[in-house]
């Protein structure tokens, strides 16, 4: 099974900051990597698919990059509504797997 590891587990940032979250796969997954945002008490929402594709309706301040085993999600200018937990997920094969999450908090 493919293991997904995110770093950091949490971070504090201010509105307007540039924020980068990383995700590492235990084996190469090409670009079969998705990113989700989850706010407390809510279901996750898809942000990025196949490593760098911006899902419909997602603001352009979100971007994804990477291939193979190393990936990143960047928020170019953090907005108040971006404080949430972010998860990466591999879709190369089954069983599917998620990272442990990165909580973005207000500094």
Residues that bind other proteins (CB under 8 A): 1, 31-32, 34, 36, 38, 43-46, 49-50, 53, 55, 87, 89, 91, 94-101
> For the chain, what is the total number of helices (H) and then of strands (E)?
0, 11
SS3 of the chain: helix, strand, coil, percent, to 5: 5, 50, 50
Cβ distance to other proteins smaller for residue 16 or 40 = 40
CB of 12 to other proteins, least distance (A): 18
CA distances, 42 to each of 28, 38, 52, 61, 85 (Å): 31, 6, 24, 22, 11
CB of 16 to other proteins, least distance (A): 28
Cβ distance to other proteins smaller for residue 3 or 77 = 3
């Amino acid at each position: 099974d493919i293991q997904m590891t995110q770093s950091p587990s949490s971070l504090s940032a201010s509105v307007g900051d540039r924020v980068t979250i990383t995700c590492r796969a235990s084996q190469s997954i090409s670009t079969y990597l998705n990113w989700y945002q989850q706010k407390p008490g809510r279901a996750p929402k898809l942000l990025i698919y196949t490593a760098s594709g911006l899902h419909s309706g997602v603001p352009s301040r979100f971007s994804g990059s990477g291939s193979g085993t190393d990936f990143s999600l960047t928020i170019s200018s953090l907005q108040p509504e971006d404080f949430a937990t972010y998860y990466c997920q591999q879709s190369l094969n089954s069983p599917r797997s998620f990272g442990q999450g990165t909580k973005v908090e207000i500094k």
